Chains A and B, each alone.
Chain A
Amino acid sequence: MFRLLAGRFFASLGTLFFVGLVLFALTRAGPGSPARIVLGADATSQQITQFEHANGLDRPFLEQYAAWLFDVLRGDFGKSFVTGRDVAGEIAGALPVTLSVVLLAFVIAIVVGIGIGSLAALRPGGPFASVTRLGVVLGLSIPAFWLGIVLIRFIAVELRWLPPGGYVPPSSGLIAHLQTIAMPAVSLAVYYIAVLARMTQASLQDALRGDYVRTARAMGLSSPRIVFYALLNALPPVINLAALSFGYMFGWALIIEQVFNIPGLSRALLNAISQRDFLLLQGIVFLFTAIFVLANLGADLVNRVLDPRQRSSA
């Protein structure tokens, strides 16, 4: 098992290496030298050569990449050419904000999605299953940002239950913190609740038709226990999908953060784009990729723990 896991780990590192390479190439492929962007249009060519030399931009491309990657692996994302600020520091300031929204959305999506999907699987033709089918279509078609706006309108503006936007860090009070991220997290979660509910329903329905379920019933086991045991076999595809969802959520979180005026990675990313601050851009996108790869690695691990056939194979 450890060999398999080690294999998966190195495969993940490989993925990161190549994604980083493509990213590095793309951010450099745009017109104009970064030096020109930083120094302005009227800089002399001597100034530009000097700047490029000072920042290692005149070295061969692969050498630059290798240097950047080694620094990244040590946690150093470089200094922005534009602002002169430390990229890692910039990211470290914004990441916890985005992460708290995404984590809450993820927990909501997992608990509610798997819960609804399981209940719907119990009686395939029943009323709850029909309502779920409708709810899933609805959940898949409502855009998260629109839902966010609707929530602000009704829950914040009309009912005044929650603040319409802004962000309070957990260090300034957990309740206040949760109040600021509740609506963003729910907006973000709805689509993934639908996705996970549908997958859970299909997978569990399938498992419940299994011969071992009939055996368990023939032995007089209670229904909740039988469903739980079937769920153990139904979860792997759900877990894989949840890992993908976790990755995608970071992308959608950027839009949600704009709707709710939350100072997370979206602000940093938009600034990076508009100022052509490509070290920062590169750092954030690389971070997203790393999160995606790690989430999938995590799903693999959980599935291996769930499935004894994989656990015992060397």
Chain B
Amino acid sequence: MSAPLLRIEELRVAFRGTGGLIEAVRGVDFGVAPGEVVGIVGESGSGKSLSMLAVMRLLGATARATGGRVIFDGEDLLAATEARMREIRGRDIAMVFQDPQSSLNPALTIGRQVTDVVRAHRRVSASEARRIAVEALERVGISEAGRRLDAYPHEFSGGMRQRALIAMAIACRPRLLIADEPTTALDVTVQAQIVELIAELRRDLGLAVIFISHNLHLVAEIVDRVVVMYGGKVVEDGPAADIELAARHPYTRLLRACVPSLHGPLGPLAAIEGAPPRLGRMPAGCPFAPRCPQAADACEREMPPLATDGARRIACWRPQ
């Protein structure tokens, strides 16, 4: 495996709560190789978004990274200045978010929003920026892109808006695209198109991608590797096929069972019993132990380490 493009080491994120600092990301650790597509899955609240916002240094005023390192191309982003981060965002790493309805500025044309990204990072003329914008929009599958530059977000459908956001993200040819549940707010058919688009971009541009989703099957379609998160920690990590077909962590196995596959038969929707642990009330042992069908005494007492096993890593005292 080549040197990783992004290496997240023991990342911790906390925010100020009523009773002092509350840790929501508790030592996340994984890497992304150049051109690799990594999926992050886990129930809502497991710390996926916070981890990635920490990588981008876009945590709001209330939350902050309290430990660990984020090495991108040899540089620790957690130690970089804000000015340096502004250079990196959009040019080397870009991020798109869950809700395309609200993620575009309603007062500006699509063209303005794409060209602004280009002009934030490259000294080009207005007409050259427009040309690059048209190219980016065409690449994400928006037809008649030249005419659509003057359209406003409200004139676009949800899927088109997500495409426009992806166009903004890729306009400067970043090496890493972070997509935080980019399909969650969309219709099922549109979801599949966006997933297909991201796979295509990765193929054509050699882009590395971190694709966050709570739908394991959706992710497994396009990713090389899956990172499973629970309670602010990575609990399992390995090649997509292995995780989908032979997950070893009880949580991953349950997660796999409770989301219908995009193509498979639509069985009864199962859900994992119980609720994720409340923040600030993390159990001392494995965070999943209270809900785990396999849990033993050891699980309640001590957190299992993330142990390497070939190409996979797993944090469980009783892996399957």
Residues of A within 8 A of B (CB): 124-125, 210-212, 214-222, 225, 229, 232-233, 306-309, 312
Closest to B168 in A: A219
Closest to B118 in A: A219
Q: Which of B133-178 contact A (CB under 8 A)?
A: 152, 154-155, 165, 168-169
Which applies to chain A's interface (DSSP): helix, strand, loop or mixed?
helix
A308 to B121, CA, bound (A): 27
Closest to B82 in A: A223
A229 to B95, CA, bound (A): 19
Are B103 and A308 in contact (CB-based, < 8 A)?
A: no
Are B102 and A212 in contact (CB-based, < 8 A)?
A: yes
Closest to A231 in B: B107
- Choice from B87, B96, B103 contacting A212 with Cβ under 8 Å: B103
Are B107 and A307 in contact (CB-based, < 8 A)?
A: yes
- Choice from A124, A215, A229 contacting B97 with Cβ under 8 Å: A215
Q: Smallest distance from the beta carbon of A17 to chain B beta carbons, Å?
A: 35
CB contacts (< 8 Å) of A306 on chain B: these are 107
Closest to B86 in A: A220
Are B58 and A217 in contact (CB-based, < 8 A)?
A: yes
- Choice from A210, A216, A218 contacting B56 with Cβ under 8 Å: A218
A306 to B108, CA, bound (A): 10
Could you name 9 residue pairs across A and B whose Cβ atoms are closer than 8 Å?
A: A124-B61, A210-B102, A212-B104, A215-B165, A216-B105, A219-B169, A220-B91, A229-B105, A232-B108
Closest to B102 in A: A211
A155 to B106, CA, bound (A): 47
Q: Smallest distance from the beta carbon of A237 to chain B beta carbons, Å?
A: 14
- Is B6 at the interface (CB under 8 A from chain A)? no
CB contacts (< 8 Å) of A222 on chain B: these are 86, 120
- Is B63 at the interface (CB under 8 A from chain A)? no
- Is B88 at the interface (CB under 8 A from chain A)? yes
A229 to B113, CA, bound (A): 10
Which 7 residue pairs across A and B have the least CB separation, nearest first? A220-B90, A219-B90, A220-B89, A211-B102, A232-B107, A308-B152, A218-B95
- Is B9 at the interface (CB under 8 A from chain A)? no
Are A312 and B152 in contact (CB-based, < 8 A)?
A: yes
CB contacts (< 8 Å) of B107 on chain A: these are 229, 232-233, 306-308
CB contacts (< 8 Å) of A308 on chain B: these are 106-107, 109, 152, 154
CB contacts (< 8 Å) of B94 on chain A: these are 218-219
A230 to B181, CA, bound (A): 24
Are B106 and A212 in contact (CB-based, < 8 A)?
A: yes
A265 to B107, CA, bound (A): 41
Are B116 and A225 in contact (CB-based, < 8 A)?
A: yes
A219 to B87, CA, bound (A): 9
Q: Smallest distance from the beta carbon of B185 to chain A beta carbons, Å?
A: 11
Are B117 and A219 in contact (CB-based, < 8 A)?
A: yes
Are A220 and B104 in contact (CB-based, < 8 A)?
A: no
Q: Smallest distance from the beta carbon of A125 to chain B beta carbons, Å?
A: 8
Q: Smallest distance from the beta carbon of B207 to chain A beta carbons, Å?
A: 15
Q: Smallest distance from the beta carbon of B106 to chain A beta carbons, Å?
A: 7
- Is B200 at the interface (CB under 8 A from chain A)? no
Are B103 and A211 in contact (CB-based, < 8 A)?
A: yes
With A225-B116, A308-B152, A309-B152 as given contacts, are A218 and B104 in contact (CB-CB < 8 Å)? no
- Is B99 at the interface (CB under 8 A from chain A)? yes
Closest to A311 in B: B152
- Choice from B96, B104, B116 contacting A221 with Cβ under 8 Å: B116
Are B152 and A220 in contact (CB-based, < 8 A)?
A: no
Closest to B89 in A: A220
CB contacts (< 8 Å) of B109 on chain A: these are 308
A124 to B117, CA, bound (A): 27
- Choice from B99, B108, B121 contacting A229 with Cβ under 8 Å: B108
Are B117 and A211 in contact (CB-based, < 8 A)?
A: no
Closest to A213 in B: B105
Q: Smallest distance from the beta carbon of A124 to chain B beta carbons, Å?
A: 8
Q: Smallest distance from the beta carbon of B117 to chain A beta carbons, Å?
A: 4
A214 to B61, CA, bound (A): 13
Q: Which of B116-136 contact A (CB under 8 A)?
A: 116-117, 120-121
A212 to B96, CA, bound (A): 10
CB contacts (< 8 Å) of B165 on chain A: these are 215
Closest to A232 in B: B107
A219 to B120, CA, bound (A): 8
A307 to B106, CA, bound (A): 8
Q: A212-B105, A216-B116, A219-B168 are in contact. List 5 more A-B contacts (CB 8 A).
A: A211-B97, A215-B168, A220-B89, A308-B154, A309-B106
Q: Smallest distance from the beta carbon of B220 to chain A beta carbons, Å?
A: 26
Are A220 and B105 in contact (CB-based, < 8 A)?
A: no
Closest to A125 in B: B61
A225 to B56, CA, bound (A): 19
A211 to B100, CA, bound (A): 9
A223 to B296, CA, bound (A): 52
Closest to B99 in A: A211
A211 to B104, CA, bound (A): 7
Are B121 and A220 in contact (CB-based, < 8 A)?
A: yes
CB contacts (< 8 Å) of A233 on chain B: these are 105-107
A212 to B99, CA, bound (A): 10
A307 to B105, CA, bound (A): 11
With A229-B108, A308-B152 as given contacts, are A221 and B102 in contact (CB-CB < 8 Å)? no
CB contacts (< 8 Å) of B86 on chain A: these are 220-222
Closest to B180 in A: A218
A216 to B90, CA, bound (A): 9
A217 to B53, CA, bound (A): 11
CB contacts (< 8 Å) of A307 on chain B: these are 106-107
A268 to B104, CA, bound (A): 53
CB contacts (< 8 Å) of B154 on chain A: these are 308-309
Are A218 and B89 in contact (CB-based, < 8 A)?
A: yes
CB contacts (< 8 Å) of B106 on chain A: these are 212, 233, 307-309
Contact with A along B36-80 (1 / 0, CB 8 A): 000000000000000000001010010000000000000000000
